[in-house]
Structure 1
Amino acid sequence: MMRDSVEVAGRSRTYTVVGQEDGRPSRDLVLIFHGSKQTGQKHREFTGRAFDALADSGAAVVVYLDGYKKNWNDARRESRFPARKENVDDVGFVRAVIRKLTLKHGIDAGRVFAVGYSNGGQMVMRLMHDAPSLLAGAAVVAATMPAPENFLLPHTPPAPVPMPVLLIHGTKDPIVNYEGGYMRWWMRALFKVGGRSLSAPRTAHYYAVRNGITAEPVSTPLPARPGSAGGTSVERTEYRQHGRPPVVLCTVHGGGHTIPGPAKAPAVLGRTNQDVATADLVAELFEIRNRHTPSV
């Protein structure tokens, strides 16, 4: 693990790298974007360091980026935190990190994946619209697409760069409603955000249309893991069509504003599902481990 920084638009931007400089060449790069009021390192602990396993396996370099004053300059019209008010160049930050890791760690710049939670998920959606050529895939947890009037970037299909998309959302999320709409007034004040958002299923449909998928989605309940805590279950809804990158929505029934996996979030955020691990879902959909598994 290594702390590093880059200069972007006159600001020193920091991040944490997991993965050796002298590792396998042409590794994938997984960029992790934390939620509001977090840092990259705090989010690393919040997830139980589950994403580190992608680097430990030698398949990828994992980077936990630090937002400006613990937020990302997302594309929601009514965001009011410093990163947005000061129009911080977070897209430039991502470009600089990719450029530096390509040189120092030998990552494959065509195999960059973004994973974002909450405000970090909103940042990932900004990247998908503002700089899609940077990404080979995107995962969004506990965040949904801003409604058209609340989104600052063009959002008409088809996508200029279609990519596989993973969405994960709890039906009992107390902060970002699974059904979309507006946050409660006190949450809007606390997190300095506003505006309407789409539901999680509408978000999945939006990205399916954007990827040119016209086939109907197929939903499957996932089995419970032996020994996992009760109260939640996962339903996987897949939009797939030959020749098109898939869109997958994992609905966590009974789940909160949480990241499925080994580390339980504080109870105030709701229940954490442990039947699935978000890092494994990311690796599976984006074929991170399989691409580097030698044939027998």
Structure 2
Amino acid sequence: MRSLRDLTLRPRRWPGALALVLALPLAGCAGDSERPDPAPPASAPSRAGATAGAAPDVRARLRVDGVAREYLLHRPADGAGGGPRPLVIAFHGRGADAAELREKSRLERAAGARGMLVAYPEGLDEGWGAGTRATERRPDPDLDVRFTEALIEHLVRAERADPERVYATGFSNGGSMALRVAAQRPGLLAGAASVSGQLPAGAAGIEATGPVPVMVVYGADDPVRPLAGWPSPPPDPEEPILPSLSARDSAEAFATAGGAGAPVTEERKGYDRTVWRLGAAPRSAHGAAATVQLLVVHDAGHTWPGSDVTPPKGFGPTSRALDATDTILGFFTDEP
């Protein structure tokens, strides 16, 4: 099962009150040392799976609100050359981690070809606060929002990420986290995309607050978090499963916030695409297309379409009719 959680509202102005203390390259994740471990040589695979000839991935630690948070960073092979680079923040699913999403999505391959940085943050207790309700595990439902803001700020400063081309994506609970950031911080992102993640509803509900391009990719036969949403999920002994809107209602919330007109739906081979054209201009003139899109993938479960990784038992099939990674990055960069 997966769940969701939280955020707050503010235009894109870096939160100076955040306790942002350090970001250190790590080869591993043990301890809270302020001394970086030796970086692997560029010619050998790193622990994160970098290959010969490519810029090695880096594990780093960032202290926010007194908590050391970790993330996996992939730099494009062009190194420090060129100007500011687009940045993709990729949130893993509940019960998973950054390395699992990296392997499943292979975002860094397609993003690197586009000169994009990719940061895979690690959630606390292998999950994200994608809704506004406090829980025993997540007593501060806004913690992950502040972490996301701080991570973006740090990568703009330290990695020359372009603040006008910051995007968020994620899978399942991580997809819901990406939608939460887009909903409550529309000025922070130039676009967002969710795979198998919906907006939370009920007491933990999230409302879209401004125009931002959003894509929702969803399996028509998702057995974990149904396409039609989950208004009354069953209890979970580890962490409450939050109610959610349907995939369509999640997309429509962003369309409404962006002043979109009536949607247009077209059938593609293996999936249906519904597009709303935003009436209000998103913040970036060179970000994603000014649309909200819902892609319902046929014969697909709670999976990342196009992935080569076998999903857990009970998650349903993975569609090969759509490459979610290329589709999402093409949406972010407004490729035809």
Partner of 2:53: none
Contact 1:23 1:105 (8 Å CA) reproduced: no
TM-score, normalised by the number of residues in structure 2: 0.73
- Partner-residue secondary structure (3-state), 1:110: strand
**Residues 112 and 191 (structure 1), Cα distance of their counterparts in 2 relative to 1, 3 Å cut:** farther
Q: Answer yes or no: is the 8 Å Cα contact 1:218–1:239 preserved in 2.
A: yes
Task: Tell me the residue number matched to 2:145.
Answer: 91
Corresponding residue of 1:164: 213
1:39 has 2:97 as partner: yes
Separation (CA, whole Å) in 1 of partners of 2:231 and 2:145? 26
How far apart are 1:133 and its partner, in Å? 2.0
Structure 1 match to 2:191: 137
Is the Cα contact below 8 Å between 1:18 and 1:52 reproduced in 2?
yes
Partner of 1:69: 125
> Displacement of 1:54 after TM fit?
3.5
Cα offsets for 1:171-191 (capped at 9, x unmatched): 211111111134652xx4156
Contact 2:233 2:242 in 1 (8 A): no
Q: Which runs of 5 or more structure 2 residues have no equivalent in the other structure?
A: 1-56, 282-289
- Alpha-carbon RMSD across the aligned residues, in angstroms, is 2.3
Partner of 1:269, secondary structure, is: coil
Give the aligned residue type for 1:71.
G
Is contact 1:19-1:62 (8 Å) kept?
Answer: yes
C-alpha offsets along residues 45-99 of structure 1, whole Å, 9 cap, x if unaligned? 122x2x112342152101111001111122153x7462x2354621221122212
Count of matched residue pairs:
269
Matched, 1:112 2:166: yes
Q: CA deviation at 1:192?
A: 2.0
Q: Normalised by the size of structure 1, how large is the TM-score?
A: 0.83
Match of 1:284 among 313, 318, 330: 330
Query: What displacement does 1:135 show?
Result: 0.8
1:176 is aligned to 225
State the match for 2:236 in structure 1: 189
2:186 paired with 1:124: no
Alignment partner for residue 109 of structure 2, among 31, 53, 60? Answer: 53
In 1, the alpha carbon distance for the partners of 2:89 and 2:321 equals 24
Per the TM alignment, residue 271 of structure 1 is displaced from its structure 2 partner at its CA by 0.8
Distance in 1 (alpha carbons) for counterparts of 2:186 and 2:280: 18
Structure 1's unaligned 5+ residue stretches are 224-232, 291-296
1:127/1:247 Cα in 2 relative to 1: closer, same or farther (>3 Å)? same
Moved over 6 A (4+): none
Residue 10 (1) aligns with residue 58 (2): no
SS in structure 2 opposite 1:133? Answer: coil
Q: 1:272 to 1:190 in 2, by over 3 A?
A: farther
